[in-house]
């Protein structure tokens, strides 16, 4: 029995589609269907319930899928390790990321990785957080990058970094000239918020409520880029990770003010499917992510330069950095 046949079967189950599995393996849809049919004949059982859409495995098919998935992953990971033992890294890594992480961190990471490993192939996708987790669970990507990651029976979490969150506003806002701001000072003020379905919104609501700040949410969006555009037109202030507003701080279209008393932070994590055997290329990319996070934390560059870009002096930036490092949020 060929490992390739087992991979086709796993892709059919994982992606719930013969056509998508066929595209993934460079064969025709009928070819993928024939592979599964041959496996069913060999085992004497039905593996796929073809009467349902999307396709679902039978009980026997689910059992076979769980075992084959691990075999296939381990085989290809081993094959890549052996093939590249004395050679340059030349495998592929597929990553799904939420938009804000991809736009603020991943371009530099991908460029550095490819500079070190020019023969490697990095496939990066941007999605809604729920979609990122779904792609990881169904083995359509090697790993995902999400905020507020949660482990489960199917998801393993590797904490990556903490992003300090600042009050972000337009230059014309009365808070723009402040050195710091207390959360209770935001009571009754207009805020551009995240969609209520997102974990970051629930965390922000909890901290504001604990501080006695009853803000007026005038707009809600499910991505940071749209929130920033609304803040730029002075629709209200926002509470955003500092790393996501670097470009706007440099151009002066937005201002960031450190939060006093109970600084917020957004945890970011690397999520993989439980039991998944990552290939050498994926493992090296995750290693690079951790190295860059550790270097940023060690030199303090991310929390030091951005307040300066927002109009702070170097001494004020140092004070803001100290406040962030010494403050501990009850929830984040």
User: 162-266 is classed in which CATH architecture?
Assistant: 3-Layer(aba) Sandwich (3.40)
Chain centroid to Cα 188, Å, comes to: 32
Apex 68 CA angle, 125 and 283, nearest 5: 45
Q: What single-letter DSSP state applies at residue 9?
A: H
Stronger pLDDT, 311 or 283, i.e. the higher one: 283
Burial class (CB in 10 A: 0-12, 13-18, 19+), 82: exposed
Return the domain boundaries, the chain: 3-84, 91-160+267-299, 162-266
Q: Is the pLDDT of residue 319 over 80?
A: no
Buried b (16+ CB within 10 A) or exposed e, 84-109: beeeebebebbbbbbbbbbbbbbeeb
Token pair for 72 = 């296939």
* Per-residue confidence band for 82, with pLDDT thresholds at 50, 70 and 90: confident
Reported as a pLDDT band with limits 50, 70 and 90, residue 310 is very low
Average pLDDT on 85-106 reads: 85
162-266: same fold as 91-160+267-299?
Answer: yes
Whether 212 shows a pLDDT value over 90: the answer reads yes
Tokens of 35: 């592979």
DSSP SS3 for 181: strand
pLDDT band, residue 317 (cuts 50/70/90):
very low
Count of residues in the chain: 332
Confidence band of 138 (pLDDT split at 50, 70, 90): confident
CA atoms within 13 A on the CB side of 172: 6
CATH topology for 3-84 is: Arc Repressor Mutant, subunit A (1.10.10)
Closest CA to 16 of 134, 142, 153, 152: 134
- Taking residues 214-221, what's their average pLDDT? 97
Across residues 17-32, what is the average pLDDT?
A: 92
Q: Measured between alpha carbons, how far is 257 from 320 in angstroms, rounded to an integer? A: 9
* Assigned fold of 91-160+267-299: D-Maltodextrin-Binding Protein; domain 2 (3.40.190)
What is 185-230 written as a DSSP string?
A: GGTT-EEEEE-TTSHHHHHHHHHHHHTT---EEEEEESSHHHHHHH
The average pLDDT across 223-232 equals 95
Contact 144, 96 (CB under 8 A): yes
**pTM for the model:** 0.69
Which whole number is the average pLDDT over 265-288?
93
Q: Residue 200 pLDDT > 50, yes or no? A: yes
The gap between the terminal CA atoms of the chain, to the nearest Å, is 50
Counting residues of the chain whose pLDDT is more than 90, the rounded percentage is 67
| Beta strand extents in the chain (DSSP E only) | 48-49, 56-57, 92-98, 121-127, 143-147, 155-169, 181-182, 190-194, 216-221, 238-241, 255-257, 259-260, 264-273
The C-alpha atoms of residue 236 and residue 223 are separated, in whole angstroms, by 16
pLDDT one-digit tens code per residue, 258-275:
999 877 899 999 999 998
pLDDT per position as a tens digit, 144-193: 999 999 999 999 999 999 999 999 999 999 999 999 999 999 999 999 99
Tokens coding 316: 């004020």
**Strand 216-221 with 48-49, pairing:** unpaired
Confidence class for position 305, pLDDT limits 50, 70, 90: very low
What pLDDT does 53 receive?
A: 84
- Band (pLDDT 50/70/90 cuts) for residue 327 is very low
pLDDT at 143 exceeding the cut of 80: yes
- Residue 107 has which token pair? 């371009």
What are the b/e assignments for 42-60, b being 16+ CB within 10 Å?
eeeeebbeeeeeebebeee
Q: Does the pLDDT at position 228 exceed 60? A: yes
Query: What CA–CA distance (Å, rounded) separates 157 from 273?
Result: 9
């Amino acid at each position: 029995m060929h490992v390739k046949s087992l991979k086709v079967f796993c892709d059919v189950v994982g992606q719930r589609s013969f056509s998508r599995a066929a595209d993934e393996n460079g064969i025709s849809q009928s070819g993928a269907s024939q592979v599964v049919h041959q496996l069913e004949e060999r085992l004497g059982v039905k593996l796929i319930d073809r009467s349902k859409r999307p396709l679902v495995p039978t009980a026997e098919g689910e059992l076979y899928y769980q075992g084959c998935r691990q075999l296939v992953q381990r085989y290809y990971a081993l094959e890549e390790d052996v093939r590249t033992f004395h050679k340059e890294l030349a495998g592929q890594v597929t990553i799904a990321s939420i938009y804000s992480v991809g736009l603020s961190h991943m371009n530099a990471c991908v460029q550095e990785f490819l500079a070190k490993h020019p023969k490697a192939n990095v496939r990066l996708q941007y999605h809604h957080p729920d979609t990122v987790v779904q792609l990881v669970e169904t083995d359509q990507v090697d790993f995902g990058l999400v905020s507020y990651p949660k482990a489960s029976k199917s998801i393993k979490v590797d904490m990556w970094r903490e992003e300090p969150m600042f009050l972000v506003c337009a230059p014309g806002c009365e808070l723009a000239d402040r050195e710091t701001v207390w959360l209770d000072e935001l009571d009754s003020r207009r805020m551009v918020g995240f969609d209520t379905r997102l974990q970051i919104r629930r965390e922000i609501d909890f901290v504001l409520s604990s501080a006695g700040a009853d803000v007026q949410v005038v707009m809600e969006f499910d991505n940071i880029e749209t929130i920033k555009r609304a803040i730029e037109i002075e629709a209200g202030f926002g509470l955003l990770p500092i790393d996501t507003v670097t470009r706007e701080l440099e151009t002066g279209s937005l201002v960031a003010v450190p939060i006093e008393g109970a600084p917020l932070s957004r945890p970011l994590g690397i999520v993989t499917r439980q039991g998944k055997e990552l290939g050498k290329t994926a493992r090296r990319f995750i290693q690079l992510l951790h190295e860059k996070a550790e270097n940023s934390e060690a030199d303090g560059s991310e929390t030091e330069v951005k307040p300066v870009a927002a109009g702070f002096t170097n001494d004020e930036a140092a004070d803001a950095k100290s406040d962030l490092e010494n403050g501990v949020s009850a929830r984040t």
